[in-house]
Amino acid sequence: MSEPKAPTPTPAGDTYKGWVFKWTNYIKGYQRRWFVLSNGLLSYYRTQAEMGHTCRGTINLATATITVDDACNFMITNGGAQTYHLKASCEVERQKWITALELAKAKAARMQAESDDSGDDFSPSAAPGQGAGSQNAEFQSAMRMLGSKVEDLSTCNDLISKHGSALQRSLSELDNLTLTGEAGEKIRQVTERATLFRITSNAMINACRDFLSMAQTHSKRWQKALQAEREQRVRLEETLEQLAKQHNHLERAFRGAAQANASADSKSISGPGKGEVSDDDDNEFFDAMEEAPEFITVPADPQFHKRSSSNVSSFNSEICQDDQSLNEEPLAMNQESPSQELVPLKKRRTRIPDKPNYSLNLWSIMKNCIGKELSKIPMPVNFNEPISMLQRLSEDLEYHELLDKAAKSHNSLEQMCYVAAFCVSAYSTTVYRTGKPFNPLLGETYELDRQRESGYRSLCEQVSHHPPAAAHHAISDRGWTLRQEITVASKFRGKYLSIMPLGTIHAIFEKSNNHYTWKKVTTTVHNIIVGKLWIDQSGEIDVVNHTTGDRCHLKFAPYSYFSRDVARKVTGVVMDKTGKAHYVLSGTWDEKMEFSRVMQSSRGGENGTEGRQKTVYQTLKAKELWRRNPLPDGAETMYYFTALALTLNEPEDGVAPTDSRLRPDQRLMEDGRWDEANAEKQRLEEKQRTARREREREALNQRSSSTSEEAVDEDSVTDPSLKSVPHENYKARWFEHTEDKITGEAVHVYKGGYWEAKDQGKWDDCPDIF
């Protein structure tokens, strides 16, 4: 009660906020809460700092009932579903809130009635070409706002009449009063009534001021709009004049060409020759090709680019046209054909065999695995899904269009938002995927060639087995390159399984030369022994632009039974090199991400749980940045694969003999022959162990020959004294080991040659691993 009160705006304003005591329960009684009245909604928070992220409750005043209990108490209810018992610090403060609430309720009810009457006659997302319609809608919206202000004045007038009548009655009672002990009480009532009348009068004055200010503002905007219309009319007249001149010139050229053709036809009686038929075919071909630019150049209007580059509205204005139906058989341009021939794209499969329902005694396998690293546990295929870890790594490109949009961004901060959304989107495919991917064999590769459909090519190779490490390189014709080397460290803890990806992911954009890096968060698989398996992602990611110094800090909140936040929540802030926040990202890693532009940031008035003041960001309305694609029909019987995952193991011609599509145990599992797959898996693993022992023996022989002439016994590699011998002299086929210039880490970088070898069909240097 003794704390200073926060300043509050007048009741006639669009927003009213302040501290009010709210009844919580019989143990805590009334607790002080921060209430905010805005747009017909009354919301409350525990502290002012919570306004940026956590709302404790909201009630719609359009259907609410406001009741005054006594001098300081009042109640708000919406019919039983929500009821707020509130108490102000004094009667004057209570009357301020009552006046503001009545104004907001009247305005909310009026806007709801207008919405029901007018319907959807105004769309804020009108197309760029609908200029006249959007201006007309803007005019109607402004008129509705001005009318709303007039209604506010009318409501204030009614309240003034009400309080004026009460004041008049009090004054009449004072006149008829004799000088007794009641005189002081009546005088106090008159004083309070006069105070309330003054508050309402001030509210009306402020409403009038708002009305005048809005009228002046829109008057200036209408003047500018009128001037813009006049200038546009002048430009249209000049354009029409130029078109008329061009039309006249084309008519003269056409007449001259027609006369020339008529003279040529008169020389030949037998009709057009072979060469002339070819010319006609060429003309028809190029006419057909000229229709495509007319379709794709619609969003390339200068006004569209001007608007999309001036603010963040370009995030939602771009529409990805790469995801076409697999059954439509779209056409693509064959870039290698000199004749520009159109060829149909390959139809990708949309189903795989359903997952068999085989029973397995899980505890008999898991009880001997506690504390061991997952990659060293012999697991049957019953725990797997029919794709390898290399294919799961390639699945990060499910939402490659985010990188396509980032490559077209002219603003590095907007580009950072797209890259951050791409980081989050990589986890959307894991929400139901509780199966373990196959551990790739050393030297195993996987290519994902989507150059015709989506403009990118991807190659993965298993470059190390212990610890397991995979190198990945993807390059797109649309101006970006993605590379990473991921080493997976995993531990089984009895109740849950922790998977910690180690390594840095790099995204480089050719046009802007921006170089981004980030790491992955920890994946946890719960209920390994008892209960239904479920997956959670937790940790923090720092996306860094090493060219500009921009940074985005993403936080993946771990699941908590006691948390009131939405599950799988992700939050982030995009900052420039000075630490100034420009965008706030929010959403979930399994559904969508939104972004809001930061207009102002400040420290909250209340300390956080750790004794530090929290930053409060004032942002614009959130807009959608990314949304997860729906799963295909019947996905629950197909390992919950996405549309892309269903095509990853589809057989293709011309791939390397080490490609994951050719792995026999994985193919048998996909076909539902799990017993045969388990036997084949053991054969491949034993073959890999034999190859590794052979490499150890060769490395040991090389070391021994360089120090002494003694021969090494075949079984000497099992001697514990020789365990320090560097046995891994294996070198990757398509990646070379080097030091990263950005992070300083020892990584494998693509050295080239794979796609050239595929074009030539030369796979002589590939090892025999299957």
Q: What is the CA radius of gyration of the chain?
A: 36
Chain Cα centroid distance, residue 224:
37
Residues 6+ apart with CB under 8 A from 483: 471, 472, 473, 474, 505, 506, 508, 749, 750
Quote the CA–CA distance of 400 and 426 in Å, as a whole number: 10
Bridge pairing between strands 83-87 and 15-25: antiparallel
| 347, 326 Cβ separation under 8 angstroms | yes
3-state secondary structure at position 500: strand
Distance (Å, rounded) from C-alpha 147 to C-alpha 462? 68
* pLDDT value of position 566: 85
Residue 639 gets the label, from left (phi > 0), alpha (psi -120 to 50) or beta, of left
Nearest to 450 by CA among 405, 397, 396: 397
What pLDDT score was predicted for residue 613? 63
Instruction: Please say whether the beta carbons of 402 and 626 come within 8 A.
Output: yes
User: What's the pLDDT tens digit per position in 512-545?
Assistant: 999 999 999 999 988 877 778 889 999 999 999 9
Our CA dihedral for 716, 719, 725, 731, rounded to 10 degrees, sits at 60
Distance CA 156, CA 172 (A): 24
Q: Say what the alpha-carbon torsion angle 122, 123, 124, 127 is, to the nearest 10 degrees.
A: -130
Q: What is the pLDDT of residue 315?
A: 43
* β 83-87/746-750 pair status: unpaired
Q: What does the pLDDT read at residue 417?
A: 96
667 CB-near residues (< 8 Å, 6+ apart): 386, 649, 661
Q: What is the pTM of this model?
A: 0.56
Residue type, 174: L
Residues of the chain with pLDDT under 70: 1-14, 79-80, 114-140, 168, 171-172, 174-182, 258-344, 359-378, 494, 604-613, 706-728
CA nearest neighbour of 191 among 166, 210, 213, 211: 166
User: Rounded distance, CA 228 to CA 226, Å?
Assistant: 5
Q: Three-state secondary structure along 620-664? A: CCCEEEEECCCCCCCHHHCCCCCCCHHHHCCCCCCCCCCEHHHCH
Phi/psi for 377 (5° steps) reads: -100, 125
| Cα distance between residue 561 and residue 564, in whole Å | 8
- For the record, the structure tokens of 450 come out as 């989507």
Query: How is 397-420 classified by DSSP, letter by letter?
Result: GGGTHHHHHHHH-SSHHHHHHHHH
Sequence-distant (≥ 6) Cβ neighbours of residue 720 within 8 angstroms: none
The span from the CA of 732 to the CA of 756, in Å, is 17
Report the Cα 108 to chain-centroid distance in Å: 33
Q: Is-cis flag, bond preceding 467, omega within 30?
A: yes
Tokens of 451: 């150059």
DSSP secondary-structure letter at 271? -
> Residues, the chain, total?
770
491-529 burial by CB neighbour count: b if 16+ within 10 A, else e? ebeeebbebebebbbbbbbeebebbbbbbbbbbbbeebe
Residue 297 class from Cβ within 10 Å (0-12 exposed, 13-18 middle, 19+ buried)? exposed
Distances (CA, A) of 274 to 261, 268, 277: 16, 13, 5
What Å distances lie between residue 509 and 33, 332, 475, 518, 616, CA to CA? 48, 25, 10, 15, 33
The β-bridge partners of 571 are: 555, 586
What gap in Å lies between CA 13 and CA 38, rounded to an integer? 9
Bridge partner list, 538? 522
Q: How many CB atoms lie within 10 A of CB 264?
A: 11
Distances from the Cα of 765 to the Cα of 469, 657, 690, 732, 756, angstroms: 21, 10, 20, 11, 13
Amino acid at 453: E
Q: Which residues contact residue 225 at a Cβ distance below 8 angstroms, ignoring those fewer than 6 apart?
A: 135
